[in-house]
């Protein structure tokens, strides 16, 4: 199954909605997208994971890459709404200790607004 | 300026009947023409390897075919009555027997068409030669690449421990199945001093050559750092700092490291973003997860992250199993629909429980096979590693 990436904005926040699977064969697609996005200096980036079915360790790697890249541009970077499988994979690597993972996109946007 | 029409280099006439004399007369004004009695005579006259005559005119289709066997590009015109099987290079003009004087008006259109086809054919052959050359080049590159991968596989195998029997207190068993020729997983065992044994299972993001290179780097770092720290927490922090300096963006490693004390039978362990290890107590139905605080390696410096350290006392017959995430993430429809059910931790625990009375080597082999059976496959879609460790009572080992 492939990865679909949809871009939208909420105010000055850039929302990147992922659907399908995020894995070694398609991470470069998201990497390229994130590199482009930070150049536009949004007030925040939310990676919306509600429709993401699965991610492997390469997927985690690219999320870490996006987080580091955003923070180097002083842009807050949040994850929102992972399903149980995705949430467990994130928890296993313990990167959720350093990344902000919110239960839904609304919560992520509220957090950025506050 | 009038257009330049192609002109046949040589026209061969093969026949002894009167119409051939007329043909010679008609064509000889404009072209180089040679008259022969039979095809064998022509073949013996032509210089081997010389330019092909462009046109041959004869009575016998069979003879003309024989000529074309040697000179396939020559246009053959059969003026005999026998049914010659026409194709692009053989035309039947039987009417020339009666009207040899009409040769010029009929010859030109077929020669022009033949000439164009011949040119096109030569162009295609040129392209084909180029494609064949490129193909040969690609095959050579592929062979080189296979050779390089084979060398990398040998290098990786050499880096795996030569023997797992480094302690008379422990039986250690390992299953390692890289997805490609080389992989990003590795395991290692290391005697730290006269009573401490270090054991590690690690998984670098991705698979293939790039992951295996990072795995080799991590393994060498582990050997260097692990040997000088009896605390797993300190060793992992040091390894993380080293990796953090040169880990490529988007890559990381997870790792479970444990140190067994042969004197006290205490196991100290640190988990860096890795699936928890399992402790199976002898005679106990409970499977205990072993994990600690600790993010994956190579992502953040150790002054930002903290690694925990756990301790547990082991008894003879107790087993520890460490594995990489391929065992959890394998599913029957890998690559097609990842949303289908994964093997997952509950199923892995259940499998461990059902195999708890098997020998250690049988247990590790059957776990790997159970995961593959669940997925209905004969290979994993990621590098897969499983290490099993069992504590021996010395007198028990001696008895066995």
Number of H helices, E strands in chain B: 10, 15
**A14 DSSP 8-state letter:** E
- B298, B254 in Cβ contact below 8 A? no
Q: Give the predicted TM-score (pTM) of the model.
A: 0.72
What do you get for the CA distance between the two ends of chain A, in Å? Answer: 37
Range with the lowest mean pLDDT among A33-37, B101-105, B319-323?
Answer: B101-105
What is the model's pLDDT at position B360? 96
A95:B342 CB<8 A: no
Residues B12, B39: Cα–Cα separation, whole Å: 10
- B340: pLDDT confidence band, cut at 50, 70 and 90? low
Task: State the smallest CA–CA distance between residue A104 and chain B in angstroms.
Answer: 20
B314-326 pLDDT, tens digit per residue, is 999 999 999 999 8
| CB-nearest partner of B336 from A1, A24, A60 | A1
Specify the long-range contacts of residues B42-49, CB closer than 8 Å, at least 24 apart: B42/B12, B42/B14, B42/B67, B43/B67, B43/B70, B46/B71
Q: What is the spatial order of strands in the sheet that B253-261 belongs to?
A: B185-191, B196-204, B253-261, B266-272, B310-313
What is the model's pLDDT at position B106? 81
Say how far residue A107 (Cα) sits from the centre of its chain. Answer: 14
What is the model's pLDDT at position B376? 86
The 3-class secondary structure across B118-171, one letter per residue, is HHHHHHHHHHHHHHHHHHHHHHHHHHHHHHHHHHHHHHHHHHCCCCCCCCCCEE
- A105: pLDDT confidence band, cut at 50, 70 and 90? very high
Asked if pLDDT for residue B118 goes beyond 60, the answer is yes
User: Within 13 Å and on the Cβ side, how many CA atoms surround A9?
Assistant: 8
Residues B379, B368: Cα–Cα separation, whole Å: 10
**B251 DSSP 8-state letter:** -
A68:B382 CB<8 A: no
Among residues 52-91 of chain A, which lie with CB inside 8 Å of chain B? 53-54, 56-58, 60-62, 64-65, 68, 85, 89
What is the model's pLDDT at position B150? 83
The burial class, CB within 10 Å (0-12 / 13-18 / 19+), for B286 is: exposed
Average pLDDT for A96-102: 93
Query: CA angle at residue B268 from B263 to B159, to 5 degrees?
Result: 95
B254:A57 CB<8 A: yes
| CB-nearest partner of B295 from A24, A85, A98 | A98
Other beta carbons within 10 angstroms of residue A2's beta carbon come to: 10
A65:B205 CB<8 A: no
Torsion of the alpha carbons at B213, B214, B218 and B223, rounded to the nearest 10: 10
What is the model's pLDDT at position A1? 57
Residues B226, B188: Cα–Cα separation, whole Å: 11
Helix (H) or strand (E) holding A102: strand A100-102
B238-276 pLDDT, tens digit per residue, is 999 999 888 888 899 999 999 999 999 999 999 999 999
Among residues 177-216 of chain B, which lie with CB inside 8 Å of chain A? 203, 205-207
Quick one: angle between helices B232-246 and B209-226, nearest 10?
140
What is the model's pLDDT at position B259? 96
Query: Which residues of chain B are within 8 Å of residue A71 when distances are taken between CB atoms?
Result: none
- B332: pLDDT confidence band, cut at 50, 70 and 90? confident
């Amino acid at each position: 199954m492939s990865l679909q990436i949809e871009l939208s904005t909420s105010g000055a926040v850039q929302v990147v909605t992922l659907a399908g699977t995020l894995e070694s064969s398609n991470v470069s697609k998201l990497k390229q997208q994130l590199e482009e996005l930070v150049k536009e200096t949004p007030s925040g980036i939310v990676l919306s994971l509600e429709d993401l079915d699965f991610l492997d360790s390469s997927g985690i790697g690219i999320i870490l890459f996006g987080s580091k890249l955003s923070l180097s541009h002083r842009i807050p970077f949040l994850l929102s709404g992972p399903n149980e499988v995705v949430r467990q994979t994130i928890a296993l690597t313990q990167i959720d200790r350093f990344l902000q993972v919110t239960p839904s996109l609304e919560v992520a946007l509220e957090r950025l607004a506050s | 300026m009038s257009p330049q029409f192609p002109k046949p280099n040589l026209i061969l006439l093969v026949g002894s009947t009167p119409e051939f004399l007329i043909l010679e007369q008609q064509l000889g004004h404009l072209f180089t023409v040679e008259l022969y009695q039979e095809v064998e005579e022509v073949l013996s006259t032509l210089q081997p390897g010389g330019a092909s005559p462009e046109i041959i005119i004869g009575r016998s289709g069979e003879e003309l075919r024989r000529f074309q066997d040697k000179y396939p590009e020559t246009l053959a015109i059969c003026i005999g009555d026998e049914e010659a099987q026409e194709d692009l290079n053989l035309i039947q003009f039987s009417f020339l027997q009666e009207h040899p004087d009409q040769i010029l008006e009929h010859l030109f259109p077929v020669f022009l068409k033949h000439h164009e086809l011949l040119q096109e054919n030569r162009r295609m052959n040129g392209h084909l030669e180029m494609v064949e050359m490129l193909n040969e080049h690609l095959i050579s590159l592929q062979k080189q690449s296979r050779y390089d991968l084979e060398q990398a596989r040998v290098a990786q195998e050499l880096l795996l421990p030569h023997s797992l029997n480094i302690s008379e207190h422990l039986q250690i068993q390992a299953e390692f199945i890289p997805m490609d020729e080389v992989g990003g997983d590795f395991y290692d065992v290391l005697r730290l001093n006269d009573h401490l044994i270090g054991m590690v299972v690690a998984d670098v993001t991705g698979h293939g050559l790039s992951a295996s290179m990072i795995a080799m780097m991590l393994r060498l770092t582990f050997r260097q750092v692990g040997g000088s720290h009896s605390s797993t927490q300190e060793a992992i922090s040091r390894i993380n700092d080293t990796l953090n300096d040169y880990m490529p963006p988007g890559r990381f490693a997870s790792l479970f490291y444990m140190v067994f004390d042969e004197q006290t039978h205490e196991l100290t362990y640190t988990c860096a973003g890795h699936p928890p290890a399992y402790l199976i107590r002898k005679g106990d139905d409970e499977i205990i997860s072993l994990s600690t605080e600790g993010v994956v390696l190579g992502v953040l410096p150790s002054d930002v992250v903290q690694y925990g350290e756990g301790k547990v006392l082991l008894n003879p017959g107790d087993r520890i199993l460490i594995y990489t995430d391929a065992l959890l993430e394998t599913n029957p429809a890998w690559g097609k629909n990842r949303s289908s059910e994964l093997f997952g931790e509950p199923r892995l625990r259940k499998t461990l429980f059902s195999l708890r009375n098997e020998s250690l080597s049988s247990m590790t082999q059957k776990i790997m096979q159970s995961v593959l059976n669940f997925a209905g496959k004969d290979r994993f879609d990621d590098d897969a590693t499983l290490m099993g460790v069992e504590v021996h009572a010395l007198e028990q080992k001696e008895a066995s």
